[in-house]
Amino acid sequence: MKIYRVGGAVRDKLLHYPSHENDWVVIGSTPEEMSKLGYRPVGQDFPVFIKPETGEEYALARTERKTGLGYGGFSFYTAPDISLEDDLVRRDLTINAMAEDEDGTIIDPHGGQRDLEDRVLRHVSEAFDEDPLRVLRVARFAARYAHLGFTIAPETERLMIAIVNSGELAHLVAERIWKETERALCEKSPDIYIKTLRDCGALKKLLPEVDALFGVDQRADYHPEVDTGIHILMSLQQAANYSSGAAVRFAVLVHDLGKGITPKDILPRHSGHEARGVPLVKAVCDRLKVPNEHRNLALVVTEFHLICHKSLELKPTTLLKLLKSIGALKSAKKLDDFLECCLADARGRKGFEDREYPPAAYLRQAREKLLEVKVKDLANSGLSGTDIGEHLQQRQIQALQQFKNEFQQN
C-alpha 295/C-alpha 238 separation (Å) is 20
Q: What is the pLDDT of residue 70?
A: 47
Would residue 198 count as lying in a domain? no
Domain limit, last residue, from 53, 86, 118 = 118
Whether 217 has a pLDDT exceeding 80, the answer reads: yes
**pLDDT (tens digit per residue) in 348-360:** 999 999 999 999 9
Would residue 380 count as lying in a domain? yes
Helix (H, G, I), strand (E, B) or coil at 9: helix
Would residue 91 count as lying in a domain? yes
Contact 232, 245 (CB under 8 A): no
**pLDDT (tens digit per residue) in 271-286:** 999 999 999 999 999 9
- Say if strands 120-121 and 151-152 run parallel, antiparallel, or are unpaired: parallel
Would residue 206 count as lying in a domain? no
Q: Where are the alpha helices (H) located in 74-216, listed in sequence order?
A: 84-88, 112-118, 133-145, 154-166, 174-185, 190-199, 202-206, 208-211
Would residue 334 count as lying in a domain? no
| Mean pLDDT value across residues 225-235 | 98
**pLDDT (tens digit per residue) in 68-91:** 554 454 456 677 878 899 889 989
Number of domains composing the chain: 2
Residue 101's CB: how many other CB atoms inside 10 A? Answer: 13
Domain limit, last residue, from 118, 145, 173 = 118
Q: The domain that contains 96 carries what CATH number?
A: 3.30.460.10
Q: Pick the residue with more confidence: 375 or 139?
A: 139
C-alpha 350/C-alpha 352 separation (Å) is 6
**pLDDT (tens digit per residue) in 289-310:** 999 999 999 999 999 999 999 9
Determine the structural domain holding residue 59 and report its residue range: 1-118
| Mean pLDDT value across residues 366-381 | 78
DSSP string, 253-283: HHTTGGGGG--GGGTT--TTHHHHHHHHHHH
Longest pairwise C-alpha distance within the chain: 82
Q: What is the pLDDT of residue 216?
A: 97
**pLDDT (tens digit per residue) in 165-208:** 999 999 999 999 999 999 999 999 999 999 999 999 999 999 99
Q: What is the pLDDT of residue 61?
A: 86
Write down the mean pLDDT value for the chain. 91
Whether 322 has a pLDDT exceeding 80, the answer reads: yes
Domain limit, last residue, from 118, 137, 160 = 118
**Which residues 6+ apart lie within 8 Å of 192 measured at CB?**
139, 142, 143, 146
Strands (E), 35-86: 40-41, 48-51, 56-60, 62-66, 74-78
Whether 375 has a pLDDT exceeding 50, the answer reads: yes
Contact 256, 277 (CB under 8 A): yes
Q: What is the pLDDT of residue 391?
A: 77
Would residue 174 count as lying in a domain? no
The proportion of the chain whose per-residue pLDDT surpasses 90, expressed as a percent, equals 74
Q: What is the pLDDT of residue 400?
A: 96
Whether 379 has a pLDDT exceeding 70, the answer reads: no
Query: pTM for the complete prediction?
Result: 0.90
Would residue 287 count as lying in a domain? no
Q: Which of 129, 249, 279, 95 is nearest to 181 (CA)?
A: 249
Would residue 8 count as lying in a domain? yes
